[in-house]
Structure 1
């Protein structure tokens, strides 16, 4: 796959959760079902080993990074044969230079097309060192830069940093997820000013998905205005209600192409953000983010529990009720019927 060109076309890419059983053991059966669900829902890729997959899979006592990456790749490739559609496999890469390089090499070995690189381990290092870190990983596998919000362990980067990242030849995309409009604009401006029209922009701003997808961004390069669009999403939010999310994504792309649907997009944007507030537990500074994702999937019968590897990571007070509220309030944005129709086949 030419992953650069593929990502430039624009796709809906969910962050893949981790399925655990009642004893907090990895459930391969439910994990396969999730992968099958995402492919059947029409996703253009999968991000595995990222925040939604739980960073604890890397801990020696769990030893799950390779098994999880391998199972997702094998299942996705088998489903691709059935669907006949391409699919980009993106591996989360974390840690210091040595650890990140090892993870990148493993991802490449397992057939992943690109790496989404978390720089949390370099949170206190100078920006040029962080850019050099990304450049080093990009020599092993194509890199997707990642602007992670501080509430989830990220840091604020400067415009100059993103110009430097955009200048790295084998950076193929940037996931923009600072949950901050000013910082989102800076990333896009940096890409334009670097002259990188071959670098795909993806939203990771789960709190403003629709606005990101529909907004035209214009900045100057070489004295001329350049208009860029965020072409897709790589989102934890899209790990649930996925078939409905893919339909909405395609509708937004069609709208941009001049095929208006008559939808009130501002109202839809507010509805999606309201749903995300419940899902990601914004009321408690995202403490219940991963359990919230798993709880939706549990209610649909796709996973057995909403358990995390960290037993202290649980739903927050009132979060379950909020998930019920938003699912009832926005029935066109959930996919319970789709899941119920196919779930048994996915769990085979």
Structure 2
């Protein structure tokens, strides 16, 4: 059973809900790995209070798997090493991105498990011609290697629309522990929630938002689904987000604030709903929906560059750059929402993160 492969404190944190940034890739001007800054990013997420991180996912750039680049094992190993060096007294969830056809995905799952990762974030991207039955069989094989964090990726960035029946069958797979919902679509998000609620394993599966266009509202919403005449409640307990790769310290504070509202069963403050729109507006600047998300990775890099965590915006693909007007949009959200950024926290700690750990 997947639960038996995960430490009890990791399972407890996953179910409680936490902030999980999607880890970017630090490159130098030659578009080669900048090890010092790659490790500094991991240290930033740990010290920000994040409860985990997802490595080798979209924000880490899928090209790390390409021949001639071959950075998959390297970035996974570095992140795991930094978590180990931190000697944390609290649980920290290590999640590895897994993609590609079954044979590739199973090998990536084995690698992640060998390196001590807790879960695999399984992408369905790039498999557009596969049937839903084939996708389910693929996940079953991955789940034999590592506990699974499902991922509903929006079609505009390589995902596909998946049916309610797919997600119900997905939720029945032993080894599935969580699902990241990121279709950027209310109807499709609801499909996943309903499917999980109707599955026999619903109590084993937790839901995380990846909907960067609706983060705060997702985290404030309790779904109450009628299942055979009984009401089943399911909450979206945390987030696994590329958006939380920046301004992470403030994201941790935000989730804690939301948890208190949920715990105390308070009426949702109107200010939190206003902040939902501010976060969404900031995400629009970073992730570039105005240009079909073309600038999403450079947008995240630009924020980290401004803070000093990255040296530049470089991506493995030299064609990936900010879209026209995106820099001005980032300037705008910085100016309009100073309470959302964590520049001062980064400034206070940057030198420490960029330094070598003592042996």
Q: Please, what TM-score do these two structures have when normalized by structure 1?
A: 0.97
Task: Report the 3-state secondary structure (helix = DSSP H, G, I; strand = E; otherwise coil) of the residue aligned with 1:264.
Answer: helix
1:122 aligns to what SS in structure 2? Answer: coil
Residues 97-112 of structure 1: pairs in structure 2 closer than 5 A: 97-112=102-117
Please state how far the C-alpha of 1:221 moved relative to its aligned partner.
2.2
1:202 to 186, 189, 208: 208
Q: Once the 2 structures are TM-superposed, how far is the Cα of residue 198 of structure 1 from its aligned partner?
A: 1.7
Asked if 1 retains the 8 angstrom alpha-carbon contact of 2:126 and 2:159, the reply is no
Q: Is the 8 A contact 2:183 2:211 kept in 1?
A: yes
What's the C-alpha RMSD, in Å, of the aligned pairs?
1.2
Q: Distance in 2 between matches of 1:100 and 1:6?
A: 26
**Does 2:253 correspond to 1:247?**
yes
Structure 2 distance, partners of 1:110, 1:129, is 28
Matches within 5 A, 1:129-208: 129-195=134-200, 196-208=202-214
Q: Deviations over 1:288-319 (max 9, x none)?
A: 00000000000000011110000000001111
How far apart are 1:259 and its partner, in Å? 7.2
Q: How many residues align?
A: 346
Q: Assess if the C-alpha contact under 8 Å between 1:12 and 1:249 holds in 2.
A: yes
Match of 2:15 among 4, 8, 14: 8
Uncovered stretches (5+) of structure 2, i.e. residues with no partner: 1-6
Contact 1:91 1:112 in 2 (8 A): yes
Which ranges in structure 1 are unaligned for 5 or more consecutive residues?
none
**Maintained 8 Å contact 1:45/1:88:** yes
Distance in 1 separating the partners of 2:140 and 2:334: 42
Local SS of the residue matching 1:226: strand
Match of residue 341 from structure 1 = 348
With the length of structure 2 as denominator, give the TM-score of the two structures: 0.94
Query: How far off is 1:63 after superposition?
Result: 0.8
Number of the residue aligned with 1:269: 276
8 Å Cα contact 1:93/1:115 also seen in 2 = yes
